[in-house]
Amino acid sequence: MERYSSVFIAIFVLILRLAQAQNQTGFISVDCGLSPPESPYNAPQTGLTYASDAGLINSGKTGGIAKEFEPFVDKPALTLRYFPDGVRNCYNLNVTRDTNYLIKATFVYGNYDGLNVDPNFDLYFGPNLWTTVSSNDTMEEIIHVTKFNSLQICLVKTGISIPFINVLELRPLKKNVYATQSGSLKNLFRLYISNSSRRIRFPDDVYDRKWYPLFQNSWTQVTTNLNVNISTRYELPEGVMTTAATPLNANETLNITWTIEPPTTPFYSYIHFAELQSLRANDTREFNVTLDGDNTFGPYSPKPLKTETVQDLTPEQCSGGACLLQLVKTLQSTLPPLLNAIEAFTVIDFPQMETNEDEVAGIKNVQNTYVLNRISWQGDPCVPKQFLWDGLNCNNSDISTPPIISSLDLSSSGLTGVITQGIQNLTNLQYLDLSDNKLTGEIPKFLADIQSLLDINLSGNNLTGSVPLSLLQKKGLKLNVEGNPHLLCTDLCVSKGDVHKKKSITVPIIASIASIAVLIGALAIFFVLKKKTGSKVEGPPTSYVQASDGRSPRSAKPAIVTKNRRFTYSEVMIITNNFQRILGKGGFGIVYHGFVNGTEQVAVKILSHSSSQGYKQFKAEVELLLRVHHKNLVGLVGYCDEGENLALIYEYMANGDLKDHMSGTRNQFISNWGTRLKIVVESAQGLEYLHNGCKPPMVHRDVKTTNILLNEKFDAKLADFGLSRSFPIEGETHVSTVVVGTPGYLDPEYYRKNWLTEKSDVYSFGIVLLEIITNQHVIDHSREKPHIAEWVGEMLTKGDIRNIMDPSLNGDYDSTSVWKAVELAMCCLNSSSARRPTMSQVVFELNECLTCENSRGGAIRDIDSTSSLDVSLTFTTQVSPIAR
């Protein structure tokens, strides 16, 4: 009876294990290109249930691999979806937030199109590049913790090759497996040690990991028919752990080698052990684990018929990307080392944050409501910028926060029905254009609740009812409802007689009679003063408020509007300790070192009475810096405007200006290409903020290396805004203005036409970029081509980057990064401003340069660094960690 009981228990355990193995809870198995009537089906090789991708993507065409390849391919990969139209095509998958997923994408070309063209296209994970597909038969795998309840896998066309995909698979893992310090894991290899040819996956592996056999002639196969305890958090297949190998020569090491590209890529390894042999009383199996000759773990003895995993706690790197893992027998050991299985993963970072989740939900609601099947409306709406959805503008200047949607233009898009409530999720929207559609119903009140909205165009629709009072009373809002014949307007909207004539309804700011009287009085004073002085009054009218201390502003020089951050001249003297320490001199005057509140270091610019900069530029800089704030713009601590004493008090930038460091006058030379790129990226971000983040946008007008300052950490910040001007908006293409700037950096088109646009800054920044690359003077009459742009252009015709690069860099740079930077600089210097990139595009391209450089040499080194960082490797087991 006892024997039957034991057999029953064994059968029950086997059934339970099989039931667990068949569990596909949370699995997503997509057969791309499968016809919906054939979906779902159970794959014969695994029993996994696969479904069609219909409903997961709105584009692409279906196909199948050529007949001659079918015998060599598993059923899910026989069909595929390919994408001849559009640049980016994306799958949208519903997942569980904060879940650790194993994600696999399979690509089998199989000459499906009869062209025999090798594939070459990019695979994106949301807004970030995952990998480039360039093989006829490959599977890409990552382990990633989801942040949202949706996941997007995108295929991007990069050349003549048409992107395609055969299978998409997602498998939820336990949270405590394959953990990293940061980033996700990209599969490098997953091997079990066996001389068989069998690949192991589901149902043997409950997570559907694919295990490939590995065996070498210098090894001896070790197997067991006994059960191996696999009850660890990694839940390895028993078929993986019941095989192992030892060296043929008991005194030899057991070696595993692999290579990593790029060589500096960090990786994690997971080594799995179980003793499979019955050891005699005097037998000992003990060994150390070394990587590239360094002891990383041990001495260690595998547990009899029990699985243990030795894993990296921190990422490791191998010299030159060539890795040698060795199991080395100890002196006390009588048996050779033993290995059952090993996995390795490189670290892959996805730095670009996805667009704000609520705003994505809002814009997809708009898309679904109006059935907008635009091929560009796939993937993340805002990022990367080159795939921005048509009709959208976004703000993603701060990479530490999710991008937000700032503008939505769906004019002439054939919209019908009412204005969808999904728009109210776009809480950062500044501009909304729904004009020239067939929208009906009333104007919703929720539009007034979007605090950021500045401009709404609802003209040319069939809206009814009346304009909500809350919209009409919203200050600063421009509202256009022309061409809605059945829309009623109150007195605040427009008079009834003008309802069909008024082209635009701007929400009025109701002024009191007293305000009108003040305005008339101010105009009268203005003309009297003009008549007395016989000259033109410079600057805004004198209706500006008085100075904050109650004194009247100087004649014909209006006081700065704000009261904040104003210092008296006596306070400036205390701050600078009676102007004791000079930091620098220029046409504006002298800059002194000082302290505010005795602790905060500041730089105090004292405007010379003979300065050409003048009060107008002083005032312009103060008012700009009081209303703009960005990590890459020098912050204004305060100012002094007292009689003839004018001072600007800035945050202290310990490392001075970029020009000094490029010339070496500070005895600290920037000889690192990565550091130079970091500086220009940050400078570009500051400039991009002025163009796109300010309302109204600003043009700096004096971008140059002396106006790029560096703090103690060599973070770059743009400075000197005295010449800045508001940038044209609302359809204007330029501002006509007197030409100002620095020779050599000045935009030739601006100089010829007196037309100022944001592209004038782009030209100047292009010159800065060439200075960073070449470390040459902007104008040098000893050269055959005195101007740096002409000189670089001539060098480029020779095609040798070494003629252009600063020789002090000693060739220590990624050539791809350098070429991209040079090409970008020359694009910025195009004679036609219309053909220059925007600063947003410049920021994107420079970040690409920086990524190329960092992938070559790891993180950017410190400014004085002469050696790379040491990264230690620590291992631990499932049972108890042993110190290294």
Residue 860, pLDDT score? 37
Q: Roughly how many angstroms between the first and final C-alpha of the chain, as a whole number?
A: 52
Using alpha carbons only, give the angle 876, 880, 882 rounded to the nearest 5 degrees.
Answer: 55
Residue 612, pLDDT score? 47
The answer on pLDDT for 31 being more than 50 is: yes
Q: How many domains does the chain have?
A: 6
pLDDT in tens, 386-439: 999 999 999 887 767 899 999 999 999 999 999 999 999 999 999 999 999 999
Residue 784, pLDDT score? 84
- State how beta strands 150-157 and 294-300 pair: unpaired
Residue 664, pLDDT score? 66
d(CA 452, CA 546): 30
d(CA 822, CA 831): 16
Least confident of 398-412, 432-446, 720-734, 792-806: 720-734
Give 504 or 672, the one with higher predicted confidence.
672
Highest average pLDDT, of 29-33, 655-659, 859-863, comes from 29-33
Catalytic residue among 122, 641, 702, 814: 702
- State how beta strands 431-433 and 404-409 pair: parallel
Assess whether 241 and 126 both reside in one domain: no
Q: Is residue 15 part of a domain?
A: no
- State how beta strands 600-607 and 404-409 pair: unpaired
Q: Cβ contacts of residue 878 below 8 Å, gap of 6+?
A: 232, 233, 307, 308, 309
Assess whether 471 and 591 both reside in one domain: no
**φ, ψ of residue 439 in degrees (nearest 5):** -70, 140
Asked if 423 and 366 count as a contact pair (C-beta separation under 8 A), the reply is yes
Q: The domain that contains 130 carries what CATH number?
A: 2.60.120.430
Residue 553, pLDDT score? 35
Q: The domain that contains 562 carries what CATH number?
A: 3.30.200.20
Least confident of 304-313, 427-436, 776-785: 776-785
Residue 181 pLDDT grade (very low, low, confident, very high; cuts 50, 70, 90): confident
Considering the chain, what is the average pLDDT of its residues?
82
Asked if 679 and 673 count as a contact pair (C-beta separation under 8 A), the reply is no
Mean pLDDT of all residues in 107-114 = 96
- List beta partners, residue 648: 605, 639
Assess whether 534 and 550 both reside in one domain: no
The answer on pLDDT for 186 being more than 90 is: yes
d(CA 860, CA 854): 7
Q: Cβ contacts of residue 431 below 8 Å, gap of 6+?
A: 393, 406, 407, 408, 409, 453, 454, 455
- What is the number of other CB atoms lying within 10 angstroms of the CB of residue 718? 25
Assess whether 613 and 708 both reside in one domain: no
The answer on pLDDT for 736 being more than 50 is: no
Q: The domain that contains 222 carries what CATH number?
A: 2.60.120
Q: Is residue 863 part of a domain?
A: no
Cα radius of gyration rounded to whole Å, the chain:
34
Give 814 or 521, the one with higher predicted confidence.
814
Percent of the chain whose predicted confidence (pLDDT) is above 70: 81
Q: Cβ contacts of residue 16 below 8 Å, gap of 6+?
A: none
- What is the number of other CB atoms lying within 10 angstroms of the CB of residue 133? 23
d(CA 780, CA 295): 57
Q: Residue 605, Cα to own-chain centre: how many angstroms?
A: 36
Residue 546, pLDDT score? 25
Mean pLDDT of all residues in 227-231 = 95
The answer on pLDDT for 561 being more than 80 is: no
Assess whether 212 and 302 both reside in one domain: yes
SS3 category, 296: strand
Asked if 530 and 537 count as a contact pair (C-beta separation under 8 A), the reply is yes
SS3 category, 439: strand
d(CA 340, CA 193): 5
Mean pLDDT of all residues in 603-628 = 72
- List beta partners, residue 173: 100
Residue 515 pLDDT grade (very low, low, confident, very high; cuts 50, 70, 90): very low
Q: Cβ contacts of residue 166 below 8 Å, gap of 6+?
A: 31, 32, 33, 65, 76, 77, 78, 79, 80, 106, 107, 108
Assess whether 531 and 616 both reside in one domain: no
The answer on pLDDT for 741 being more than 90 is: no
Assess whether 644 and 678 both reside in one domain: no
Asked if 306 and 352 count as a contact pair (C-beta separation under 8 A), the reply is no
Assess whether 567 and 465 both reside in one domain: no
Residue 735, pLDDT score? 45
Give the pair of three-digit tokens for residue 491.
């007195």
Q: Pick the closest to residue 593 from 725, 601, 308 (CA basis).
A: 601
- List beta partners, residue 689: none
The answer on pLDDT for 345 being more than 90 is: yes
Q: Is residue 738 part of a domain?
A: yes
Mean pLDDT of all residues in 452-466 = 94
Mean pLDDT of all residues in 142-155 = 95
**Which of 328, 350, 372 corresponds to the end of one domain?**
350
Whose structure tokens read 């391209």?
A: 845
Residue 585, pLDDT score? 75
Q: Cβ contacts of residue 495 below 8 Å, gap of 6+?
A: none
Q: The domain that contains 387 carries what CATH number?
A: 3.80.10.10
d(CA 763, CA 748): 9
Residue 695, pLDDT score? 72
Residue 36, pLDDT score? 96
Give the pair of three-digit tokens for residue 594.
């000082």
Residue 614, pLDDT score? 63
d(CA 32, CA 857): 38
Q: Is residue 877 part of a domain?
A: no
Residue 705 pLDDT grade (very low, low, confident, very high; cuts 50, 70, 90): very high
Give the pair of three-digit tokens for residue 622.
């103060």
Assess whether 346 and 376 both reside in one domain: no
Query: Could you give the residue ranges of the DSSP H alpha helices within 234-318?
Result: 238-241
Q: What is the DSSP letter of 367?
A: H
Asked if 466 and 488 count as a contact pair (C-beta separation under 8 A), the reply is yes
Least confident of 231-245, 370-384, 385-399: 385-399
Task: List Cα–Cα distances, 13 to 2, 3, 7, 166, 203, in angstroms.
Answer: 17, 16, 10, 37, 16
Looking at the chain, how many residues does it have? 884
The answer on pLDDT for 283 being more than 50 is: yes
Highest average pLDDT, of 4-18, 288-302, 506-520, 645-659, comes from 288-302
SS3 category, 829: coil
Q: Pick the closest to residue 158 from 120, 118, 107 (CA basis).
A: 120
SS3 category, 128: strand
Residue 794 pLDDT grade (very low, low, confident, very high; cuts 50, 70, 90): confident
Mean pLDDT of all residues in 6-26 = 53
Give 258 or 552, the one with higher predicted confidence.
258
Residue 17 pLDDT grade (very low, low, confident, very high; cuts 50, 70, 90): very low
Q: Is residue 288 part of a domain?
A: yes
Q: Is residue 882 part of a domain?
A: no
Give 814 or 76, the one with higher predicted confidence.
76
Residue 586 pLDDT grade (very low, low, confident, very high; cuts 50, 70, 90): low
DSSP, residue by residue, 305-360: TB-EEEEESS-B--GGGEEEEEEEE-TT-SB---B-EEEEEEEE---SPPP-HHHH
Assess whether 628 and 748 both reside in one domain: no
Give the pair of three-digit tokens for residue 178.
């394959």
Q: Which helix (H) or strand (E) is 770 found in, with range?
A: helix 758-774
User: In the chain, how long is the greatest CA-to-CA distance?
Assistant: 123
- The amino acid present at 54, given as its one-letter code, is A
Residue 731, pLDDT score? 40
What does the buried/exposed string (b/e) look like for 596-609 if buried means 16 or more CB atoms within 10 Å of the residue's CB? Answer: beeeeebbbbbbee
Least confident of 267-281, 459-473, 548-562, 818-832: 548-562
Q: Is residue 136 part of a domain?
A: yes
The answer on pLDDT for 883 being more than 60 is: no
* Residue 532 assigned ligand-binding role: no
Q: The domain that contains 737 carries what CATH number?
A: 1.10.510.10
**Which of 350, 376, 408 corresponds to the end of one domain?**
350
Assess whether 464 and 576 both reside in one domain: no
Q: Pick the closest to residue 152 from 104, 90, 97 (CA basis).
A: 90
Least confident of 185-194, 238-247, 513-522, 715-724: 513-522
Assess whether 731 and 779 both reside in one domain: yes
Domain membership of residue 529 as a residue range? 511-542
**Which of 303, 332, 350 corresponds to the end of one domain?**
350
- List beta partners, residue 506: 478
Least confident of 121-135, 469-483, 760-774: 469-483
Q: Is residue 167 part of a domain?
A: yes
Residue 782, pLDDT score? 86
Tell me if residue 702 is catalytic: yes
